[in-house]
Structure 1
Amino acid sequence: MPKLFEYNGWKFYFYSREGMPLEPPHVHVRKDRSEAKIWLTPVVRVASDRRVDPRTLKMLLAIVIERRDEFEERWHEFFS
């Protein structure tokens, strides 16, 4: 489970075994019992979330948008 980034206890990561066929690039974000899955392409958007309030989800999306290129590059490096 490669960790990409951490912010205020929120861990941004992807799973090393994402299934076959491989899903499009995305990150998982988790803190305590709250989590979200966020697609990186074609546009950054929430795929799913559990126990994440709307304000926090908006903040997480902003972080992913800001770091999208970095996260996508790391995704392709890992899975190529």
Structure 2
Amino acid sequence: MPTVYRLDGYRFFFYSNEGDPREPVHIHVMKGGAEAKFWVRPVIRLERSYGFDARTLRKLARMIESNGKLISEAWDEHFGG
């Protein structure tokens, strides 16, 4: 599970095995016992969430948008994209 970055206690990461065929670029976010998955391209969109409230999910979406380039570059580097 490569960690892309950490911010405000949240861990932004992806799993090394992201489906077969591989899913499009996305990021998982964890903090405490909560986890969410967001699609990154072509737009930031929540896929699923367990344990995060709506306000936190909006905050996470903004964090992901601000770091979209970093996420995409890390994805491409890890998966050879």
Normalising by structure 2, we get a TM-score of 0.95
- What residue identity is the alignment partner of 1:23? E
Aligned to 1:16: 16
Aligned Cα root-mean-square deviation (Å):
0.7
Aligned to 1:69: 69
What is the deviation of 1:22?
0.1
Give the secondary-structure state (helix, strand or coil) at the position aligned to 2:59.
Answer: helix
After the TM superposition, list the runs of 4 or more consecutive aligned residues in structure 1 that deviate by more than 2 angstroms. Answer: none
Alignment of 1:51-66 (within 5 A): 51-66=51-66
Number of residue-to-residue matches in the alignment: 80
Give the secondary-structure state (helix, strand or coil) at the position aligned to 1:41.
Answer: coil
Aligned to 1:38: 38
What is the deviation of 1:69?
0.9
Mapped to 2, the partners of 1:15 and 1:52 lie a distance apart of: 20
The answer for unaligned runs of 5 or more in structure 1 is none
Q: Percent identity at matched positions?
A: 40
